[in-house]
């Protein structure tokens, strides 16, 4: 494995930075709760609706000066599944976002379980809500699956899109990305159980699905820019090879989409995030964050290492803030929490990026 920076493959320099009062690293255990009234926090804890040890952040993003995290409802006691990070009293606390009522279990106008999110260039956050809570402990379907749109500039939930007509009883939805093309907005959602991409065109309300690969236990997707078009990068969990397809095929509803496969003989990978031409990933057996500049051919042995999570930690997401040229890298020991009852240790590392 190549750990140095190879200018021929990728002209990128990363260093830890301070931004707008945030520490170089944001770190916390479990999910420290931030509400207007401290007695309200005590109420949620006593009622069992908030169990700090079960709040596990798996994805972090930044918009302007705000940092947000997503915490799926894997176990009981997760009061919300999307939070604003608040620096209070020299520690990190989590504030339900936009409001606590937007996460009420059983209220189908609220977010039941955020399993993925996509921040677009307009400051709109597209949240994929599976509608199934307590997925690790005791799965319960509380509401139909949907996509929820949060306008971060307005700080409010502005739209809900029902996608239940696209799903089957065995569907396993995992990732969401959004593409703007020819004045239209296309939502792409991965369904691992069918190896399919679910497509929804927002303006017309039209929906369809396109089978892209064989079924798997997980199907990750990322949106990546090519010089003349946009492509979808797909990875089947625990399988070798990275699949690429032109999103034009998805918008045409083609059932037989032309695919390009990279790294068929290389190690299986986990996708962590994308930024323009760059894809961030890690090998399944390693926590080191690698970057692939998609302008260059894929070669798993010549990917640049930009971050090491450290002992017992796993990187779960990498996100970019383009205007500030900053990457947010989220590391956790969530596997320890899922296997026991200890609070998850989370660390967000900020690095500056110069191409």
Q: How much is the pLDDT for 255?
A: 65
Environment class of 183 (CB within 10 Å of its CB; exposed 0-12, middle 13-18, buried 19+): exposed
Going by their DSSP bridges, the two strands 173-181 and 156-162 should be labelled as: unpaired
Q: Per-residue DSSP letters for 168-214? A: -TT--EEEEEEEEETTEEEEEEEETTTTEEEEEETTT--EEEEE-S-
| pLDDT surpasses 70 at 44 | yes
Q: Tell me how far apart the alpha carbons of residues 281 and 99 are, in angstroms, rounded to a whole number.
A: 32
Q: Name residue, tokens 């279990």.
A: 105
Q: How far is CA 85 from the centre of its chain?
A: 16
Q: What is the pLDDT of residue 128?
A: 98
Q: Which of 4-13, 32-41, 234-243 has the lowest mean pLDDT?
A: 4-13
Domain residues of the chain, as ranges?
A: 26-162
Neighbouring residues of 96: CB distance < 8 A, sequence distance ≥ 6: 35, 79, 80, 82, 83, 102, 103
Q: How confident is the model at residue 258 (pLDDT cuts 50, 70, 90)?
A: confident
Q: If DSSP codes are grouped into helix, strand and coil, which group holds residue 135?
A: coil
Which residues make beta-bridge pairs with 230?
Answer: 225
**pLDDT single digits (tens) 116-137:** 999 999 999 999 999 999 999 8
133 Cβ neighbours under 8 A, 6+ residues apart: 73, 105, 112, 113, 139, 140, 142
The pLDDT value recorded for residue 337 is 84
Give the whole-number percent of the chain exceeding pLDDT 70.
90
- The residue-averaged pLDDT of 97-107 equals 96
Specify the residue for token string 């306008």: 151
| pLDDT given at position 293 | 93
- Check whether 22 has a pLDDT greater than 70: no
Q: Give pLDDT, residue 227.
A: 80
**pLDDT exceeds 70 at position 18:** no
Query: Which residues make beta-bridge pairs with 88?
Result: 91
| 234 contacts 220 by C-beta, under 8 angstroms | yes
Q: Which residues contact 35 (CB under 8 A, 6 or more apart)?
A: 41, 44, 95, 96, 100
């Amino acid at each position: 494995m190549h750990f140095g920076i190879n200018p021929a493959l990728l002209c990128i320099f990363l260093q830890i930075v301070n931004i707008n009062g945030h520490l170089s690293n944001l770190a916390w255990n479990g999910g420290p709760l931030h509400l207007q009234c401290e007695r309200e926090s005590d109420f949620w804890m006593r009622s069992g609706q908030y169990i700090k040890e079960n709040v596990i952040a798996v994805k972090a993003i930044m918009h302007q000066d705000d940092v947000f995290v997503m915490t799926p409802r894997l176990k009981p006691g997760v009061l919300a599944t999307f939070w604003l990070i608040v620096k209070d009293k020299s520690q990190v606390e989590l504030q339900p976002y936009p409001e606590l009522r937007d996460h009420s279990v059983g209220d189908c106008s609220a977010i039941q379980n955020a399993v993925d999110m996509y921040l677009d260039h307009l400051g709109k956050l597209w949240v994929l809500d599976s509608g199934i809570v307590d997925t690790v402990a005791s799965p319960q379907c509380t509401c139909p699956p949907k996509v929820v749109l949060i306008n971060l500039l307005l700080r409010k939930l502005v739209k809900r899109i029902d996608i239940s007509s696209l799903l089957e009883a065995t569907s396993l939805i995992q990732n969401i990305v959004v593409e703007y093309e020819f004045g239209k907005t296309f939502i792409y959602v991965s369904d691992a159980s069918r190896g399919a991409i679910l497509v929804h065109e927002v303006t017309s309300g039209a929906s369809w699905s396109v089978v892209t690969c064989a079924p798997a236990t997980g199907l990750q997707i990322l949106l990546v820019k090519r010089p003349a078009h946009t492509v979808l990068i797909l990875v089947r969990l625990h399988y070798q090879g990275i699949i690429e397809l032109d999103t034009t095929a998805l918008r045409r509803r083609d059932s037989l989409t032309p695919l390009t496969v990279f790294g068929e003989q290389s190690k299986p990978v986990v996708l962590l995030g994308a930024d323009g031409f760059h894809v961030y990933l890690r090998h399944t057996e390693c926590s080191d964050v690698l970057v692939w500049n998609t302008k260059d051919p894929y070669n798993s042995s010549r990917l640049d290492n930009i971050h090491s999570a450290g002992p017992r930690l796993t990187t779960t997401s990498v996100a970019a803030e383009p205007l500030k040229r900053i990457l947010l890298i989220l590391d956790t020991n969530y596997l320890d929490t899922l296997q026991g009852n200890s609070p998850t240790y989370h660390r967000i590392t900020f690095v500056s990026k110069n191409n």
